[in-house]
Amino acid sequence: LSVDELTALVLETGKYGVQVMALLDRANTSSYGNPEITKVNLGVRNNPGILISGHDLKDMEDLLKQTEGTGVDVYTHSEMLPANYYPAFKKYSHFVGNYGSSWWHQTEDFENFNGIILFTTNCIVPPRKSSTYIDRVYTTGASGFEGFKHIGDRKEGQPKDFSAMIEHAKKCAAPKEIETGEIVGGFAHNQVIALADKVIEAVESGAIRKFFVMGGCDGRMNGRNYYTEFAQKLPGDTVILTAGCAKYRYNKLPLGEINGIPRVLDAGQCNDSYSLVKIALALKEALGLTDLNDLPIAYNIAWYEQKAVIVLLALLYLGVKNIHLGPTLPAFLSPNVVNVLVNNFGISGITSVDEDMKLLLETVESK
């Protein structure tokens, strides 16, 4: 196959990425309602709790139903944070909020939580030999790890059976408080489009000069501090659009608002990057533009693994160019492949916060 033929295959993969994310979005919103602007509690209560991590909202539904009235509270961790934004889940009074940070902080977060941890999908960090929470971890679905208890799949027409885990939770101590306050999220495409007039007015008046898409993954390497610093240094007339656990690098920073619009708009999980695409397409139409690349949007995306790659390919399929990808380029991008991506799509890596910000601000202002 020629380079052009291989590139076409890659873009076709991106096409299916868009379709799959659209299907998942439709499945989630038709089942649990459209995410809505929500203040998420970061503190704790005095009841024993279950901390649910991963991405599976059906597991979240089963857990909330089965824990109702038991005296056991439910908290989200890492990529399950966006469950707080769905109307169907918000109605449960024992759904407290979010506990801890992104996936790689779990060894500390789980020690402090004191209660049960439920993994519905990735990302599991192998516990330390000294970890005291190993007997409090349950896995389900495709997730699993030696020494963790596993909960089997649903029987046809029935929910998963979380009864043993819930009984275990009742015997646990309440979570240790590690932070207090609130964060705001729930800015998926339906919610942002509902605010379209307010957003367009802010753009046309100059109150919002540009948007920065900073979705993707978090990780433990020191270089990812780049994204915290980048968010801190962004001018006050800019707005961050995010999805995925990369948001934990800046979603608790006091970045303020623009005319009542928070400067960090969290659309949800990594697969909710589809919402960012829908928002961009709606902005393009509202502003009367013909090309996504003419929008006042810059892309500074953090990648870690395969899901972030399919999001990247989806953006390329939709024609988005000049994406910055970091903190390092994937190892599977050979020099020749990098050349194709640079020449055809303007993809580049990151350098320093100040250099990249200058470049991205200039790029956007020239549109």
pLDDT digits (tens, 9 = 90+) for 42-91: 999 999 999 999 999 999 999 999 999 999 999 999 999 999 999 999 99
Q: 181 in a domain, yes or no?
A: no
Is the separation of the CB atoms in 278 and 191 below 8 Å? no
To which H or E segment does residue 300 belong?
Answer: strand 297-302
CATH for 62: 3.40.50.2030
State both tokens at 277.
Answer: 């695409």
Rounded mean pLDDT of 22-40?
97
Residues 12 and 57 in one domain: no
**Whether the predicted pLDDT of 144 surpasses 90:** yes
Residues 360 and 301 in one domain: yes
**Whether the predicted pLDDT of 367 surpasses 60:** no
Mean pLDDT for the chain overall? 95
Residues 248 and 342 in one domain: yes
Q: Output 305 or 259, whichever has higher pLDDT.
A: 259
Residues 165 and 190 in one domain: no
Checking phi first, is residue 100 left (phi over 0); if not, alpha (psi -120 to 50) or beta?
left
Count up the domains in the chain and report the number: 2
Q: 178 in a domain, yes or no?
A: no
Is the separation of the CB atoms in 45 and 56 below 8 Å? no
Task: Tell which of 170, 199, 222 closes a domain.
Answer: 170
Task: Kindly report, residue by residue over 79-122, the tens digit of the pLDDT.
Answer: 999 999 999 999 999 999 999 999 999 999 999 999 999 999 88
Q: 163 in a domain, yes or no?
A: yes
Share of the chain above pLDDT 70, in %: 99
Task: Kindly report, residue by residue over 266-293, the tens digit of the pLDDT.
Answer: 999 988 999 999 999 999 999 999 999 9
Is the separation of the CB atoms in 77 and 205 below 8 Å? no
Q: 230 in a domain, yes or no?
A: yes
Task: Kindly report, residue by residue over 337-360, the tens digit of the pLDDT.
Answer: 889 999 999 999 999 999 999 999
Q: What is the 3-state secondary structure (H, E, C) of 104-127?
A: HHHHHHHHHHCCEEEECCCCCCCC
Is the separation of the CB atoms in 63 and 120 below 8 Å? no
Q: 176 in a domain, yes or no?
A: no
Residues 320 and 354 in one domain: yes
Q: 175 in a domain, yes or no?
A: no
Q: 179 in a domain, yes or no?
A: no
The domain containing residue 352 runs over which residues? 3-32+186-365
Residues 202 and 330 in one domain: yes
Task: Tell which of 170, 195, 222 closes a domain.
Answer: 170
pLDDT of 365 reads: 57
Residues 277 and 204 in one domain: yes
Task: Tell which of 136, 170, 204 closes a domain.
Answer: 170
Residues pairing with 41 in the sheet: 182
Other CB atoms within 10 Å distance of the CB of residue 130: 7
Residues 58 and 191 in one domain: no
Q: 128 in a domain, yes or no?
A: yes
State both tokens at 84.
Answer: 């707080």
For the stretch 193-198, contacts whose Cβ atoms lie closer than 8 Å and that sit 24 or more positions apart, written own/partner, are: 193/278, 193/279, 193/282, 195/261, 196/282, 196/286, 198/259, 198/260, 198/261
How would residue 248 be classed by pLDDT, with cut points 50, 70 and 90?
Answer: very high
